[in-house]
Protein backbone atom coordinates (compact mmCIF):
# COMPACT_ATOMS: atom_id res chain seq x y z
CA UNK A 1 0.00 0.00 0.00
CA UNK A 2 1.12 3.50 -0.75
CA UNK A 3 2.00 5.24 2.45
CA UNK A 4 3.94 7.77 4.49
CA UNK A 5 6.56 6.26 6.78
CA UNK A 6 8.26 7.99 9.66
CA UNK A 7 11.33 6.77 11.48
CA UNK A 8 11.87 6.37 14.27
CA UNK A 9 8.45 6.26 15.92
CA UNK A 10 10.00 7.29 19.23
CA UNK A 11 13.14 9.33 19.66
CA UNK A 12 14.83 10.30 22.89
CA UNK A 13 17.56 12.91 22.83
CA UNK A 14 19.42 15.03 25.29
CA UNK A 15 19.09 18.75 25.70
CA UNK A 16 21.18 20.40 23.00
CA UNK A 17 22.07 17.19 21.14
CA UNK A 18 21.18 17.37 17.44
CA UNK A 19 18.54 14.99 16.21
CA UNK A 20 17.21 14.03 12.78
CA UNK A 21 13.79 12.65 12.04
CA UNK A 22 13.04 11.04 8.72
CA UNK A 23 10.02 10.69 6.50
CA UNK A 24 9.61 8.68 3.35
CA UNK A 25 6.66 8.24 1.02
CA UNK A 26 5.61 5.86 -1.70
CA UNK A 27 2.78 8.08 -2.95
CA UNK A 28 5.01 10.02 -5.34
CA UNK A 29 3.57 13.26 -4.05
CA UNK A 30 5.44 16.44 -4.84
CA UNK A 31 4.53 18.30 -1.65
CA UNK A 32 5.86 17.24 1.75
CA UNK A 33 5.09 18.89 5.08
CA UNK A 34 6.47 18.83 8.60
CA UNK A 35 4.18 19.59 11.50
CA UNK A 36 4.84 19.89 15.21
CA UNK A 37 2.03 18.75 17.47
CA UNK A 38 2.14 19.24 21.22
CA UNK A 39 -0.17 17.45 23.58
CA UNK A 40 -3.85 18.28 23.05
CA UNK A 41 -3.03 20.89 20.40
CA UNK A 42 -3.55 21.20 16.68
CA UNK A 43 -0.70 20.34 14.35
CA UNK A 44 1.44 23.40 13.69
CA UNK A 45 3.05 23.65 10.27
CA UNK A 46 6.81 24.15 10.47
CA UNK A 47 7.64 24.14 6.76
CA UNK A 48 6.86 22.39 3.53
CA UNK A 49 8.48 21.53 0.22
CA UNK A 50 6.76 22.05 -3.08
CA UNK A 51 8.98 19.87 -5.23
CA UNK A 52 12.43 21.18 -4.30
CA UNK A 53 11.18 24.58 -3.23
CA UNK A 54 11.42 25.07 0.52
CA UNK A 55 8.72 27.13 2.25
CA UNK A 56 9.41 28.09 5.83
CA UNK A 57 6.68 29.34 8.14
CA UNK A 58 7.44 32.76 9.53
CA UNK A 59 7.33 31.62 13.15
CA UNK A 60 9.40 28.45 12.77
CA UNK A 61 12.53 28.78 14.92
CA UNK A 62 15.93 28.66 13.21
CA UNK A 63 16.66 25.61 15.33
CA UNK A 64 14.50 23.62 12.91
CA UNK A 65 15.89 22.77 9.49
CA UNK A 66 14.82 20.45 6.74
CA UNK A 67 16.28 18.61 3.78
CA UNK A 68 14.63 16.92 0.86
CA UNK A 69 17.26 15.01 -1.11
CA UNK A 70 14.73 13.46 -3.48
CA UNK A 71 10.98 13.13 -4.04
CA UNK A 72 10.58 10.26 -1.62
CA UNK A 73 12.51 11.44 1.42
CA UNK A 74 12.37 14.42 3.70
CA UNK A 75 14.29 15.05 6.93
CA UNK A 76 13.68 17.26 9.92
CA UNK A 77 16.82 18.38 11.73
CA UNK A 78 16.63 19.93 15.16
CA UNK A 79 20.02 21.48 15.74
CA UNK A 80 19.87 22.06 19.49
CA UNK A 81 16.73 20.57 20.99
CA UNK A 82 15.30 22.28 24.01
CA UNK A 83 12.77 20.96 26.48
CA UNK A 84 10.10 22.92 24.64
CA UNK A 85 10.73 20.95 21.47
CA UNK A 86 9.39 17.75 22.97
CA UNK A 87 6.38 16.94 20.81
CA UNK A 88 4.96 14.66 18.16
CA UNK A 89 6.37 15.46 14.72
CA UNK A 90 4.12 14.63 11.82
CA UNK A 91 5.11 14.31 8.21
CA UNK A 92 2.46 14.68 5.52
CA UNK A 93 2.35 14.62 1.75
CA UNK A 94 -0.02 15.82 -0.92
CA UNK A 95 -0.23 16.24 -4.64
CA UNK A 96 0.39 19.85 -5.49
CA UNK A 97 -0.74 21.66 -8.59
CA UNK A 98 -0.11 25.11 -9.96
CA UNK A 99 -1.79 27.83 -7.96
CA UNK A 100 -1.85 25.92 -4.71
CA UNK A 101 -3.06 22.50 -3.67
CA UNK A 102 -4.92 23.12 -0.45
CA UNK A 103 -7.92 21.32 -1.95
CA UNK A 104 -5.99 18.07 -2.02
CA UNK A 105 -5.94 15.60 0.85
CA UNK A 106 -2.84 15.54 2.95
CA UNK A 107 -1.68 12.03 3.84
CA UNK A 108 -0.07 11.78 7.24
CA UNK A 109 2.52 9.47 8.63
CA UNK A 110 2.14 7.98 12.12
CA UNK A 111 4.45 10.56 13.64
CA UNK A 112 7.65 10.54 15.66
CA UNK A 113 7.33 11.30 19.34
CA UNK A 114 10.37 13.24 20.48
CA UNK A 115 11.42 13.29 24.12
CA UNK A 116 14.11 15.72 25.26
CA UNK A 117 15.89 14.89 28.52
CA UNK B 1 -7.13 36.34 8.70
CA UNK B 2 -8.29 32.82 8.12
CA UNK B 3 -9.11 30.81 11.22
CA UNK B 4 -10.96 27.72 12.36
CA UNK B 5 -12.80 27.41 15.65
CA UNK B 6 -13.89 24.20 17.28
CA UNK B 7 -15.85 25.36 20.30
CA UNK B 8 -16.00 22.00 22.04
CA UNK B 9 -12.70 20.85 23.51
CA UNK B 10 -14.07 17.59 24.86
CA UNK B 11 -17.31 15.71 24.16
CA UNK B 12 -18.54 12.55 25.82
CA UNK B 13 -21.30 10.42 24.33
CA UNK B 14 -22.71 6.99 24.94
CA UNK B 15 -22.19 4.29 22.35
CA UNK B 16 -25.11 4.29 19.92
CA UNK B 17 -25.93 7.95 20.51
CA UNK B 18 -25.82 10.55 17.75
CA UNK B 19 -22.91 12.94 17.47
CA UNK B 20 -22.37 16.46 16.19
CA UNK B 21 -18.99 18.17 16.35
CA UNK B 22 -18.98 21.88 15.63
CA UNK B 23 -16.64 23.78 13.36
CA UNK B 24 -16.75 27.44 12.41
CA UNK B 25 -14.38 29.09 10.00
CA UNK B 26 -13.40 32.59 9.10
CA UNK B 27 -12.49 33.09 5.47
CA UNK B 28 -13.31 35.63 2.81
CA UNK B 29 -14.48 33.21 0.16
CA UNK B 30 -15.78 29.66 0.02
CA UNK B 31 -12.95 27.66 1.48
CA UNK B 32 -11.88 24.10 1.07
CA UNK B 33 -13.03 22.36 4.25
CA UNK B 34 -11.85 19.14 5.80
CA UNK B 35 -12.41 16.91 8.79
CA UNK B 36 -9.53 14.75 9.98
CA UNK B 37 -9.49 12.16 12.77
CA UNK B 38 -6.49 11.26 14.92
CA UNK B 39 -6.41 8.15 17.07
CA UNK B 40 -4.05 8.23 20.06
CA UNK B 41 -0.40 8.14 19.03
CA UNK B 42 -1.26 8.12 15.34
CA UNK B 43 -1.21 10.46 12.39
CA UNK B 44 -4.28 12.16 10.98
CA UNK B 45 -6.72 10.49 8.61
CA UNK B 46 -9.10 12.31 6.31
CA UNK B 47 -12.79 11.70 7.07
CA UNK B 48 -14.32 13.95 4.41
CA UNK B 49 -13.87 17.20 2.51
CA UNK B 50 -15.96 19.90 0.87
CA UNK B 51 -15.06 22.07 -2.10
CA UNK B 52 -18.31 22.97 -3.80
CA UNK B 53 -21.66 21.57 -4.86
CA UNK B 54 -23.87 19.54 -2.57
CA UNK B 55 -23.51 21.00 0.91
CA UNK B 56 -24.01 17.63 2.62
CA UNK B 57 -20.86 15.59 2.29
CA UNK B 58 -20.52 11.90 3.04
CA UNK B 59 -17.29 10.54 4.41
CA UNK B 60 -15.73 7.37 5.66
CA UNK B 61 -16.77 5.46 8.79
CA UNK B 62 -20.36 6.65 8.52
CA UNK B 63 -19.58 10.34 9.06
CA UNK B 64 -21.15 13.24 7.22
CA UNK B 65 -20.77 17.00 7.38
CA UNK B 66 -22.90 19.90 6.27
CA UNK B 67 -21.55 23.16 4.91
CA UNK B 68 -23.65 26.17 5.88
CA UNK B 69 -22.36 29.34 4.27
CA UNK B 70 -24.71 31.60 6.22
CA UNK B 71 -23.34 30.30 9.50
CA UNK B 72 -19.73 29.79 8.35
CA UNK B 73 -20.01 26.29 9.72
CA UNK B 74 -19.00 22.80 8.71
CA UNK B 75 -20.31 20.52 11.44
CA UNK B 76 -19.51 16.83 11.53
CA UNK B 77 -22.24 14.33 12.33
CA UNK B 78 -22.72 10.65 12.87
CA UNK B 79 -26.10 9.07 13.63
CA UNK B 80 -24.79 6.30 15.88
CA UNK B 81 -21.38 6.42 17.52
CA UNK B 82 -19.23 3.33 18.01
CA UNK B 83 -16.65 2.90 20.76
CA UNK B 84 -13.94 2.86 18.08
CA UNK B 85 -14.84 6.45 17.17
CA UNK B 86 -13.14 7.69 20.32
CA UNK B 87 -10.37 9.96 19.00
CA UNK B 88 -9.41 13.58 18.37
CA UNK B 89 -11.23 15.31 15.54
CA UNK B 90 -9.77 18.25 13.67
CA UNK B 91 -11.57 20.59 11.33
CA UNK B 92 -9.35 22.34 8.79
CA UNK B 93 -9.53 25.03 6.16
CA UNK B 94 -7.47 25.03 2.99
CA UNK B 95 -7.08 28.64 1.86
CA UNK B 96 -7.35 29.13 -1.86
CA UNK B 97 -4.13 29.37 -3.82
CA UNK B 98 -1.96 27.85 -1.09
CA UNK B 99 -0.64 24.40 -0.30
CA UNK B 100 -1.46 24.65 3.39
CA UNK B 101 -4.14 23.73 5.87
CA UNK B 102 -5.26 25.73 8.88
CA UNK B 103 -6.35 23.41 11.66
CA UNK B 104 -8.77 24.01 14.48
CA UNK B 105 -7.70 23.14 18.00
CA UNK B 106 -9.53 19.82 17.90
CA UNK B 107 -12.34 18.11 19.78
CA UNK B 108 -11.59 15.06 21.85
CA UNK B 109 -14.40 12.51 21.66
CA UNK B 110 -14.89 10.02 24.45
CA UNK B 111 -17.38 7.19 24.02
CA UNK B 112 -18.91 5.37 26.95
CA UNK B 113 -20.31 1.85 26.56
A107, A27 in Cβ contact below 8 A?
yes
B:52-111 residues touching chain A, CB 8 A cutoff: 90, 94-101, 103-106, 108
- Report CB contact under 8 Å: B43, A108: yes
Chain A residues in contact with B34 by the CB 8 A cut-off are 105
Angle at B94 (CA atoms; ends B71, B36), nearest 5 degrees: 85
| Residues linked to residue A75 through DSSP beta bridges, in sequence order | A22, A67
DSSP class of residue A15 equals T
Q: What is the pLDDT of residue B97?
A: 77
Exposure of B68 by Cβ count < 10 A (0-12 exposed, 13-18 middle, 19+ buried)?
Answer: exposed
pLDDT in tens, B80-90: 999 999 999 99
A117, A13 in Cβ contact below 8 A?
yes
Q: Give the span between the Cα atoms of B113 and B111, in whole angstroms.
A: 7
Of the candidates A31, A48, A90, which has its C-beta nearest B43's C-beta?
Answer: A90
pLDDT in tens, B48-104: 999 888 899 999 999 999 999 999 999 999 999 999 999 999 999 988 778 889 999
pLDDT means per 10 residues, chain A with 117 residues, are 90 97 95 94 93 94 96 97 96 84 86 96
Distance from CA of B36 to the nearest CA of A (A): 10
Q: Give the span between the Cα atoms of A83 and B88, in whole angstroms.
A: 25
Chain A residues in contact with B105 by the CB 8 A cut-off are 41-42
Chain B residues in contact with A45 by the CB 8 A cut-off are 100-101
Amino acid sequence: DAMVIQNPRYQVTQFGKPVTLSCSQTLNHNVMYWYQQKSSQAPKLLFHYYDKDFNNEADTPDNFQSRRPNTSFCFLDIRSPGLGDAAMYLCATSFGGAGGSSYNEQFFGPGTRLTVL
Amino acid sequence: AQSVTQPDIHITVSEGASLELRCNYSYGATPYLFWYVQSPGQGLQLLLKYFSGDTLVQGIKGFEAEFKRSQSSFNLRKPSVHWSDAAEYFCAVGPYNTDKLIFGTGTRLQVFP
